Amino acid sequence: MKKADVVVIGGSAGGIPAAISCRRRYPEKSVLLIRKEEQVLIPCGLPYIFGTVGSPEKNLIPDAMLKNNGIELTIGEVEEIDRDKKVVSIASGETVSYDKLVLATGSLPVILPIPGVDKENVFSSVKDVAYLSNMLDKVNKSKGIVIIGGGFIGVEFADECKKNRDNSVTIVEMLPHCLQLALDEEFCIEAEKVLIERGIKVLTNKRVKAILGNKQVSAVKLADGQELKADIVIIGVGARANTELAEKAGLQIGPTRAIAVDRFMHTITDPNVFACGDCAEKYSFFSGKLSRTMLASIAGAEGRIAGANLFDTRYRNCGEIGVFSTIIGEQAFGCAGLTEGMARQEGFDVVTGEATAPDRHPGGIPGAALTKVKLIFSRDNGLLLGGEVSGGRSTGELANIISACIQHMMTAYEVSLFQMGTHPALTASPMVYQLVNAAELAVKAMAK
């Protein structure tokens, strides 16, 4: 039997940071990471295999990250965890004993319970190289693609599947707008306009009734009777926690059907077993309520918390803020925290500030893009609750800055005094810096 101080099960966005965090804080401890995949895909990069990147092999997490940090790797599927003996059993017959165990088994795509979902050429975002290679081959030959789901994954698949191809791509979304679970309406409308300009058909307020065809898909039937011809269907309606191994081990599963954990990433059931990433239950930063948000960035943060807390409680999980970004063509969209609509639903009396300016100065400098920032504050105490951005490639980092301000509980007054570094080729002008100006306008509104 092999022995390791720490065993991490899962080698993606949660497992790798957990293993590295442990090695950095407890260098005397041995760490073994077990995963079933020969190659691990970058989860957020899956849609880009079908356009920008070009193949699954160009979208891999390098194993050098493990080797360089002194982490041992075993390829194999863990079939059983004996928590009493503190032993994991691998399908190959090998067993490994541990002092501490981290579960980072991730998530699986949600498959809709609709007729025809099992037909050939119906795909989802499965994180498997062979599966995606086959999917890419079919996409390259396809003339009609229907994408079910207009969230970030669905929109990104649509944009990438349209690139450099003479095909028809249609998004079917049951909500009034694409991206509505992450952005306020004005940003959703802007994103839909860009999609349409890029030749993608957008159908909102529509529900899929069935996937038609004999052995292979031939069309998608909507609830209103409309039929959309398609030789490929891609389902992108979200993910569910992969808890099969945890359930088999007798670990408590919470109301969101993820592994129940505390704020230190201990499982509720066993103090020697931790869980992080998509398989673990989440709490909102704002309300403390359970959350279903699954992001690689959240998984990474939780992995670092779990790794640091394995032998000594050092970090507490403040809860998920929810930071997203995407790009459609050359137009980027980002958000952090609550949208205005979400904040009002949570009972906040809100005030907003909005500022638009080029993200370079002067605005005529090559590469400049008009960028809009909207900030949402609580009127009662000025606390920043969320922000949304649309514009150029600086959008992603602007969303990250907004998240940092939220996490450190900055107010509109403090954000309005934000000290930024600026450069003509890199940022907006200090006089029109969108983050600061949006905050100043919110301060003005609060003074009324």
- What's the whole-number mean pLDDT along residues 417-422? 94
Residues 202 and 138 in one domain: yes
In whole angstroms, give the CA distance from residue 418 to residue 434.
Answer: 11
Is residue 313 assigned to a domain?
no
- What's the whole-number mean pLDDT along residues 304-311? 98
- What's the whole-number mean pLDDT along residues 287-305? 95
Contacts of residues 207-213 at CB distance under 8 Å and 24 or more positions apart, as own/partner, are 207/174, 208/112, 208/114, 208/148, 208/172, 209/114, 209/115, 210/114, 210/115, 210/116, 211/114, 211/115, 211/116, 211/117, 211/119, 211/122, 212/116, 213/116, 213/119
Residues 409 and 334 in one domain: yes
Domain boundary among 217, 237, 257: 237
In whole angstroms, give the CA distance from residue 317 to residue 326.
Answer: 25
- What's the whole-number mean pLDDT along residues 83-112? 96
Do residues 106 and 277 touch, judged by C-beta distance below 8 A? yes
Indicate yes or no: pTM above 0.85.
yes
In whole angstroms, give the CA distance from residue 271 to residue 251.
Answer: 11
Residues 432 and 368 in one domain: yes
Is residue 317 assigned to a domain?
no
pLDDT in the model for residue 447: 83
What is the average pLDDT value for the chain, to the nearest integer?
A: 96
Is residue 213 assigned to a domain?
yes
pLDDT in the model for residue 28: 97
- Structural domains in the chain (count): 3
- What's the whole-number mean pLDDT along residues 159-183? 96
Residues 37 and 141 in one domain: no
The domain of 36 spans: 2-108+240-308
Is residue 316 assigned to a domain?
no
Residues 80 and 29 in one domain: yes
In whole angstroms, give the CA distance from residue 16 to residue 12.
Answer: 6
State the CB neighbour count (10 A cutoff) for residue 312: 8
What proportion of the chain, given as a percentage, has pLDDT over 70? 100
Domain boundary among 220, 237, 254: 237
What proportion of the chain, given as a percentage, has pLDDT over 90? 97
Nearest C-alpha neighbor of 51 from the set 329, 300, 409: 329
Residue 448 in this model has a pLDDT that exceeds 90: no
Kind and range of the H or E run holding 162: helix 152-162
- CATH code, domain with 213: 3.50.50.60
Is residue 284 assigned to a domain?
yes
Residue 158 in this model has a pLDDT that exceeds 90: yes
Residues forming a β-bridge with 334: 325, 389
Residues 80 and 123 in one domain: no
Residues 99 and 147 in one domain: no
Predicted confidence band of residue 359 (pLDDT cuts 50, 70, 90): very high
Domain boundary among 212, 237, 262: 237
The sign one gets for the Cα dihedral 358, 362, 364, 367 is: negative
Is residue 69 assigned to a domain?
yes
- The one-character DSSP state at 74 is E
Residues 277 and 364 in one domain: no
Q: Two tokens at 374?
A: 């909207």
Token look-up 């965090």 returns 21
Residue 288 in this model has a pLDDT that exceeds 90: yes
Residue 13 in this model has a pLDDT that exceeds 80: yes
- What's the whole-number mean pLDDT along residues 286-293? 93
In whole angstroms, give the CA distance from residue 301 to residue 319.
Answer: 10
Residues 120 and 212 in one domain: yes
- What's the whole-number mean pLDDT along residues 106-132? 95
Nearest C-alpha neighbor of 43 from the set 242, 274, 290, 294: 294
- What's the whole-number mean pLDDT along residues 149-173? 96
- If DSSP codes are grouped into helix, strand and coil, which group holds residue 130? helix
